[in-house]
Structure 1
Amino acid sequence: MRRWKALLAASLLLLPGTAVVTAASPAQALDNGVGRTPPMGWNSWNTFYCNINEALIRGMADAMVTSGMRDAGYEYVVVDDCWMASTRDANGNLQGDPTRFPSGMKALGDYIHSKGLKFGIYQAPLDQTCAQYFDSYPGATGSQGHEAQDARQFAAWGVDYLKYDWCSPLGTINEQVTTFAKMRDALAATGRPILYSINSNSLHSKTGPQRDWGDVANIWRTTEDIQLVWNTDQINGYPMGIQNIINVNVPLAAYAEPGGFNDPDMMEVGRGTLTDTEQRSHFAMWAIMAAPLIAGNDIRNMSAATQTILKNPRLIAINQDTLGRQGVQVAGDANQRVLAKRLSNGDVAVALFNQSSATRTVSTTAAAIGKSGASSYTLIDAWSGATTTTGGAISASVPAHGTVVYRVSGGVTGEPQAPPSATLVSVSSGRCLDVPNSNTTNGTQLIIWDCTGAANQNWVVAGQTLQALGKCLDAPTGAVPGARVTIWDCHGGTNQQWTFQADGTVRGNASGLCLDVDNNQTANGTATLLWTCTGAANQRWTRR
């Protein structure tokens, strides 16, 4: 598996997180035997926030069984923030809120286990939990300074899953690695297999995590908290809609493997607002991205449509495949993405995702997804179960915001062919061409910034276009020296076509002008623009 990750990283040239690597020592690497496939379950936060109690959680455990969710593979019942008393007991131990959880947390865990389910709980690594930090909820303190004691308490309660949530805008990556590793080691010392879920939210924000957290945790959040919207950059400046999160999570495929998976947050399926097509895409994309399938709806009163989505056996099988691959993007632009996920039996799952606002045909080929050696291939539609055959073309008419998923069998299976990509490093400053704050609004002016390897610095070379976050590097029509360089929806115009020249400059095909760092400045945030080609250092770029 490590060889697969190295090969995939090489094929993508540079993925988000590879520029800032802080590794725990090999002796401390995570190897707890759990999370060999992405975890499946339910979490209380999306629907109930702090409005939780013992009766509610027990009712959800009951509903997991009666609804068929447990039998479909959902096993964890995770009690999120606000379960705890406002103080520790006389011995410094955590305790449940006596009003909300009068029977105590061990009794709750025993009840969940009696239903054939597993018990998950929430805590934070600093001095307070997120509800305290952001919402002034009078909950218990975090685990800072109590890691070993709290881990023993969780094990004694029968906890099977710990969500450990950083709740401060402060903290360097080294500090977070050290802090999260303390609880990792404390959990290991208990001897109880506990799935470890972390959220380093002050470090990823809009662009994905700055490292592969697979040596520290079983799953790690890749974006800020998901919101019940399709596509937005307007909530506190963070891209937390479904489409935005997909943009960030897709380029992180090389991090995923059995025991460690990217976590784009809990699902919003069944919570209203999103259309049925958008909910189906949400679930399908989480499935093919090998994301944890953690429901966030009220499962006691799910509609038939919600149950059809959440319990789809073909998509669950793709998500839970033991090979543990995350789908790799083999084609895409502002309007569509094609992801391919190699499966353990030699099949390949393919998602044809229409990001646009109108129905369109989304296509790929057997060769692009890694299939060869057969005159025909069998396609099973993951939504309908219908079977068709193809000589190599894989195509579907996909509704706006929709996703068609096929399971492709036949022939010989190799690796999906990811399009080449690179960061563009300014020779004059050593800083990277950057989409500021991952803002995908048309017309966003590009800048230089310290190289992080994140998705907003990862440029896919597609023909003569350069694409980041599903948008194209764009120059205004009729550009003159000094014109801004921006991102824009890809449309195939010559003002979005670029040529890499032998001297390291990047020339706009329409204007004949070069990509230039304004006035030869080198500071973070310096604008990029078009200027007469001179071959100076502030116009030369290194591809990494």
Structure 2
Amino acid sequence: MFTLIVRMRPRRLCRNALVRVVVLATAAVGALVGVPHGADTDLARTEPTAVTSNQVSVPSAPMGWASWNSFAAKIDYNVIKAQVDAFVAAGLPAAGYQYINIDEGWWQGTRDSAGNITVDTSEWPGGMSAIADYIHSKGLKAGIYTDAGKNGCGYYFPTGRPAAPNTGSEGHYAQDMLKFSTWGFDFVKVDWCGGDVEGLDARSSYQAISDAVAQAAAATGRPLTLSVCNWGKQNPWNWGAGMAPMWRTSNDIVFFGNAPSWSNMLSNFDQTLHPAAQHTGYYNDPDMLMVGMPGFTAAQNRAHLSLWAISGAPLLAGNDLTTMTAETAGILKNPELIAVDQDPRGLQGVKVAEDSTGLQVYGKVLSGSGKRAVVLLNRTSSAQNVTVRWSDLGLASASATVRNVWSQTDLGGFGTGYTTSVPAKDSVLLTIGGTEAAGTTYEAESTANTKAGSAVNASCANCSGAAKVGSVGNGAANTLRFNGVAAGSTGVKVVDIAYVNGDGKPRTAVLQVNGQTATTVSFPPTGSWSASGTVSVEVSLAKGSANTLTFSNASAWAPDLDAVKVSDLPGTNGAEIIGQQSGRCADIFNGTITNGTQAALWDCNAGGNQSWTYTARKELVVYGNKCLDAYQAGRTNGTKVVIWDCNGGINQTWNVNADGTVTNVNAGLCLDASGAATANGTALDLWACNGGSNQKWTLQ
């Protein structure tokens, strides 16, 4: 059984009188594949698609200010009004900052007989609509706050006010979201204190909230931006895309009353790096900024913003704007910094080098050809030289120009890379203009398996609009599959997707790479059904040509996908650790990043949780910052093999041996599939080396 889907490209239909035939195949029938550019095919085809010719701008990460870091629950109309006035006076709106977000403390949990939220009008004269109106009067957008549970954070963690029960929206999701929208709010942050205590399922809870947000926006005509704030619990990077524009990846960056912390900033940055999840208007959120808060120097403020910009994070200031210095305002408003963060391509930066422990290079692919942003980060306690190589960034080894973002000065052209001294516990932010290395384009074409369908004639009556692409027969989703996608090494690649969307709003499709967790990709309008555009995602591919990219859409309206271009980021290259006995890979379940998570066998799919870099320091690194670790430096049979923050410990060093064994340097024991089992989920541990095939591994 298979589904036949006819996709029509109006302009090309008029010119070529052809309809592209797409076949969705099951195991019994060969699947549709992407044909590498230049490959022969017996089917009629259009000219090759120029995949990168028209990069479409995707929605940018929100920018603004939020009340929590400086005021906690001690807020009222006058506090917020004063911040709005200072926000405007400092020129932040002109720099791109839009939102004024009212956090915890505005509501003390009371409702009327109909269940509607009520507030203390002595603190909020005119109710919440009045402060929203004031924010709007300055040309800004207004944000508000609630919790996914019955009781919000003010009940469990009272800060500045007595514990307030019933400050959550559970049981009132639709009612509360409609109320927020009716009051005039444009943004809602939904926290997780109640949800966490109650043991709610985060994905289903936030999906219900997302649905309520969409219903409220449809009812009022006012878009409502949802901020999922469940602190990285239950791995929101696996399911946030398509549900909300942003999701928190870590705990609070600073607790009220505490001074800003360099280590907390680095921790939140490390936890937000999930490049496959961030794309097309969906963003990992490492929390609000500490820039300008007492205790941070100007250099620390710049480094903080550099890391948030390279990761493409939301920029929500948290300092008291009424006491902000001109220096801090200038740091927040640096136009080149903001341009890096808000780049229209919407991708996240990734770690591309760490030649010595703590000397790290992060690269972000920007819009335009050969454009990159780079952070040189020195985590050590002394000044050090740090080098970025063009080849690590996916650029050709030709001269490239370098510009310092903070000094806003051109540094000149450099041959194959750039080296500079970076102060202790500091960073340097650069933009690079070079030449893209070659990528490979795969066009959406039918294969020999569909030759019987050949091409179908179509009349120009179809040229005026998009063809409806729907399910047929068995109700299967629309599916387009690119098989045989090649990669020289396992690691992160950039995939540019050429498409057409003549609607006035985005269309979506679900992308699954190999057997990895799927992600929802948004395709903004391209202006008309005769204009193509390109959006980009980052994916992790396996070495070789067995990779598969599958796009599907369960709705009747899907974007018209033309081709994909796959480009390498060599600095991310790693390897799968494949068991000889099982044929399965060393895996960290469900993309979890928690220290102490035990590694296990799973079907190989080359996901970010299966891509390991073997460093010159004999570390096996996953996610760019977690090391394979013999738990608690154990030396006995059965010691768990887990992930932990890389710390240079000898229990995190491994010998990859010619006989296929991988031995822990500290323990002298072999990496072992527990009990010689081969099933998915088989735990990895240490065991005395015995020559067994469950202790033999291939890194590729």
Pair 1:147 & 2:147 matched: no
Distance in structure 2 (CA, Å) of the matches to 1:209 and 1:423: 24
2:173–2:208 Cα contact (<8 Å) kept: no
Pair 1:417 & 2:570 matched: yes
Following superposition, the deviation at residue 454 of structure 1 comes to 10
Pair 1:514 & 2:670 matched: yes
Partner SS for 1:321: coil
Partner SS for 1:254: coil
Partner SS for 1:61: helix
Q: After TM superposition, list the pairs within 5 Å mapping 1:223-238 onto structure 2.
A: 223-227=250-254, 228-230=259-261
CA change 1:491–1:90 in 2 (3 A) is closer
CA change 1:224–1:323 in 2 (3 A) is same
Corresponding residue for residue 193 of structure 1: 223
1:94–1:140 Cα contact (<8 Å) kept: no
Corresponding residue for residue 477 of structure 2: none
State the Cα deviation string for residues 208-245 of structure 1 (Å, max 9, x = none). Answer: 5351411100101111111255465xxxxxxxx11111
Distance in structure 1 (CA, Å) of the matches to 2:332 and 2:126: 31
Q: After TM superposition, list the pairs within 5 Å mapping 1:7-156 onto structure 2.
A: 36-135=59-158, 137-138=163-164, 140-156=166-182
Say which structure is richer in strand.
2
Partner SS for 1:407: strand
Following superposition, the deviation at residue 422 of structure 1 comes to 5.9
Pair 1:460 & 2:487 matched: no
Following superposition, the deviation at residue 63 of structure 1 comes to 0.6
CA change 1:35–1:146 in 2 (3 A) is farther
Counterpart of 1:248 in structure 2: which amino acid?
Q
Following superposition, the deviation at residue 36 of structure 1 comes to 0.5
2:108–2:167 Cα contact (<8 Å) kept: no
> 346-355 or 414-423, which moves further after superposition?
414-423
Q: After TM superposition, list the pairs within 5 Å mapping 1:85-484 onto structure 2.
A: 85-135=108-158, 137-138=163-164, 140-167=166-193, 168-169=195-196, 170-190=199-219, 191-201=221-231, 203-204=233-234, 209=236, 211-227=238-254, 228-230=259-261, 241-250=264-273, 252-332=274-354, 334-346=357-369, 347-372=371-396, 374=398, 376-389=399-412, 390-412=414-436, 415-421=568-574, 432=587, 438-439=594-595, 447-448=598-599, 459-463=612-616, 464-468=618-622, 470=625, 472-473=627-628
> 327-336 or 53-62, which moves further after superposition?
327-336
Distance in structure 1 (CA, Å) of the matches to 2:425 and 2:313: 19
Distance in structure 2 (CA, Å) of the matches to 1:81 and 1:488: 32
Following superposition, the deviation at residue 202 of structure 1 comes to 6.9
Partner SS for 1:149: helix
Partner SS for 2:174: helix
Partner SS for 1:215: coil
Following superposition, the deviation at residue 292 of structure 1 comes to 0.1
Partner SS for 2:380: coil
CA change 1:308–1:531 in 2 (3 A) is farther
State the Cα deviation string for residues 77-132 of structure 1 (Å, max 9, x = none). Answer: 00001212431234322233323212211111111011111101111222122212
Structure having the higher Rg: 2
Counterpart of 1:470 in structure 2: which amino acid?
N
CA change 1:283–1:173 in 2 (3 A) is same
Following superposition, the deviation at residue 301 of structure 1 comes to 0.8
Q: Please, which runs of 5 or more residues in structure 2 have no aligned partner?
A: 1-55, 438-566
Counterpart of 1:249 in structure 2: which amino acid?
T
Total equivalences in the alignment:
491
Counterpart of 2:126 in structure 1: which amino acid?
S
State the Cα deviation string for residues 415-472 of structure 1 (Å, max 9, x = none). Answer: 5334234676887899846999844xxxxx8844698999888643335531246365
Following superposition, the deviation at residue 143 of structure 1 comes to 2.0
Distance in structure 1 (CA, Å) of the matches to 2:120 and 2:164: 11
Distance in structure 1 (CA, Å) of the matches to 2:634 and 2:105: 56
Following superposition, the deviation at residue 325 of structure 1 comes to 1.1
Corresponding residue for residue 6 of structure 1: none
State the Cα deviation string for residues 232-273 of structure 1 (Å, max 9, x = none). Answer: 5xxxxxxxx1111122112x0121123211100001111123
CA change 1:151–1:397 in 2 (3 A) is same
Q: After TM superposition, list the pairs within 5 Å mapping 1:489-500 onto structure 2.
A: 496-499=653-656
CA change 1:126–1:355 in 2 (3 A) is same
Partner SS for 1:203: coil
Partner SS for 1:388: strand
Following superposition, the deviation at residue 144 of structure 1 comes to 2.1
Partner SS for 2:143: strand
Corresponding residue for residue 235 of structure 1: none
CA change 1:164–1:298 in 2 (3 A) is same
CA change 1:128–1:111 in 2 (3 A) is same
2:578–2:697 Cα contact (<8 Å) kept: yes
> 508-517 or 112-121, which moves further after superposition?
508-517
1:79–1:120 Cα contact (<8 Å) kept: yes
1:532 to 683, 689, 694: 689
Given the two structures, how large is their TM-score scaled by the length of structure 1?
0.79
Counterpart of 1:465 in structure 2: which amino acid?
E
Counterpart of 2:393 in structure 1: which amino acid?
I
Corresponding residue for residue 14 of structure 1: none
CA change 1:404–1:358 in 2 (3 A) is same
Distance in structure 1 (CA, Å) of the matches to 2:108 and 2:630: 57
Counterpart of 1:319 in structure 2: which amino acid?
D
Q: Please, which runs of 5 or more residues in structure 1 have no aligned partner?
A: 1-32, 233-240, 440-444
1:248–1:455 Cα contact (<8 Å) kept: no
Partner SS for 1:95: coil
Corresponding residue for residue 505 of structure 2: none
